[in-house]
Structure 1
Amino acid sequence: MQRDEADPKGLIRESYVIEGITPGECRSVFMDWALSLPVDLPVPVALRALIAHYAVAEPDHPMSGVLHEGLTLPDHPRRRGGRAARVPGG
């Protein structure tokens, strides 16, 4: 996969040239990037292409960490609430 296919709007590319960008700002850019991807493009495939292009060259950049975090699977959702949470003494 080409870099331009993985980052069609150039959001990740731009984050690497912003001087002093913070990890929080990188996460915000990452969310915008993820929401702008075509539906048929698998996110892990795009992330690996971006990591190979950017994160290898700049491993200490905050966006590099965010890209790597994007490959980790989220924890399984835990059930919250239920009858015990709604009814006193439940």
Structure 2
Amino acid sequence: MTELIQAIDQRGLIRDSYVIEGISAGECRSIFLDWALFEDHDMPQADRIKALLDHYGATAPDHPMTDVLTAALETPTAPKRRGGRKGRVG
């Protein structure tokens, strides 16, 4: 598993975020965005995030990066649009 994690997180951004004492959720989101935009890998991103969660999240379930990784897997729901008069009036 370590080789897979090293391949997924080549620059060690996610790994380092788990080591930083007192890191905030905002800092974790920034690190995650940097990782997501610049890490190049053949594996689908959702699978990479799941592997990172399995590796790091199991030992640090309350860490802000675990929350960020978990949120990244959640698919946003599209807002429901109401058409016609009910959509305008309420």
Same fold? TM cut 0.5 = yes
Any unmatched runs of 5+ in structure 2?
82-90
Match of 1:3 among 5, 14, 20: 5
Q: CA RMSD in A?
A: 1.9
Matched with 1:63 is 65
Matched with 1:46 is 48
Counterpart CA distance in 2 for 1:49 and 1:39 is: 13
Whichever structure has more helix as a proportion of its residues is 2
**Deviation digits for residues 47-85 of structure 1 (CA, Å, limit 9, x no counterpart):** 011001000110011101101001011233789xxxxxx
Matched with 2:14 is 12
Name the SS for the 1:3 alignment partner. Answer: helix
Any unmatched runs of 5+ in structure 1?
80-90
Counterpart CA distance in 2 for 1:41 and 1:78 is: 32
**TM-score (ref. length: structure 2):** 0.78
Aligned residues: 79
Contact persistence 2:8–2:41 (CA under 8 A): no
Counterpart residue type for residue 33 of structure 2: M
Matched with 1:21 is 23
